[in-house]
Amino acid sequence: MPELKNTPKSNGQICFEDSDILLELFDFRILKEKEPVVLVKSKVHFLFCLAAPVNFIFSPAYSRMLKKDKAFIIHNPDTDLQALLESTEEGILIQLSLKLQKLHQLFVPDAHSAPVFTISNTQMKSYDEIELLPELLLVLNNLIQKTQLANKRLFFQAKILEIFSLLYTGKPQETDHCPFLKNEATVRKIKEAKEILIAQYKKPPTIPELAKAVQLNELQLKVGFKEIYGAGPYHFLMAHKLEIAKQLLLSGEYLVQEAAYQIGYSNTSHFIEAFKKQFGVTPKKLAGR
């Protein structure tokens, strides 16, 4: 058994690589029996097994077999993981690795300024094994067939996006969120934050105050809120307040200026502008007067 501590450089075929993403193919039809792989701690690793099982030998005492048409999703933020890959001459493994922040941006694009995605659950080790859907297998097999393309960068970049689209939108989830927002306690705190905003909409807490109230940091709150409710806390609150104003106007008991005041607008023109942007009609026209 080779010493993993001095594992040599991988002989896999790199299909796509930049500072955030690596797409690499291990084709045991042309490679030797055992191939080294390093799963760096700064990235999430998606390992897709095709054609024949691949054994991951992490140490002389520990290995895990990845069966055909299945995938490992591995994230270990504490240390790089070194392994030897072992398969029959028919085995094919596709490794897709990317930084956690990059993965998160695929689902919440406006979080690009965040230095790191710090949802508490992502600081824990994660080892998942999943079944590959037929649609995803089709994309992966197509990817294998196109490794010799002359201008392949754009092709593989598109395939990477397609893989993640199928991987996470092809099956139902409990909540509509980035796949790494799995911590139930975090989700519960974000829902609690929503209830606080609704209850205190006339005098809402600031983002720092709200984050402190539910025991999350500000990034967790803003990013998680958008993942679950489709908007950050501020925009969610504004939409909620405008909906209240809409109902007040429809009741026929409030003038435009009064409805604006009820939801905290001191400037009626600002209220009218925000109202029209959200509902496509002015408050006065909605109220019919």
- Confirm whether 177 is domain-assigned: no
> How, if at all, do strands 54-59 and 81-87 pair?
antiparallel
Name every residue whose Cβ is closer than 8 Å to that of residue 138 and which is 6 or more positions away in sequence. Answer: none
On whether both 99 and 125 belong to a single domain, the answer is yes
Q: 68 pairs with which residues across the strands?
A: none
Verify that 164 and 215 share a domain, yes or no.
Answer: no
Same domain membership, residue 187 and residue 271? yes
Domain identity same for 79 and 140: yes
pTM above 0.85, yes or no: no
Rg of the chain (C-alpha set): 25
Q: Is residue 64 part of a domain?
A: yes
3-state secondary structure of 264: coil
164 and 187 belong to one structural domain: no
Its domain, for residue 282, covers: 183-289
Region 218-223 average pLDDT = 83
pLDDT tens sequence across 52-104? 999 999 988 888 999 999 999 998 888 899 999 999 878 899 999 998 878 87
The answer to the question of residue 178 being in a domain is no
Domain of 73, CATH number, reads: 2.60.120.10
242 shares a domain with 160: no
- Split into its structural domains, the chain has a count of 2
Query: Are 286 and 279 spatial neighbours (Cβ–Cβ below 8 Å)?
Result: yes
Write out pLDDT tens, residues 184-214. Answer: 677 788 889 999 999 998 889 999 999 999 9
What span, in angstroms and rounded, lies between the C-alpha atoms of 67 and 31?
19
Q: Domain boundary at 169, 194, 217, which? A: 169
CA dihedral 28, 32, 34, 36 (to 10 degrees): -90
227-253, pLDDT tens digit by residue? 777 778 888 888 888 888 888 888 888
- Residue whose C-alpha is closest to residue 272's, from 287, 262, 257, 289: 257
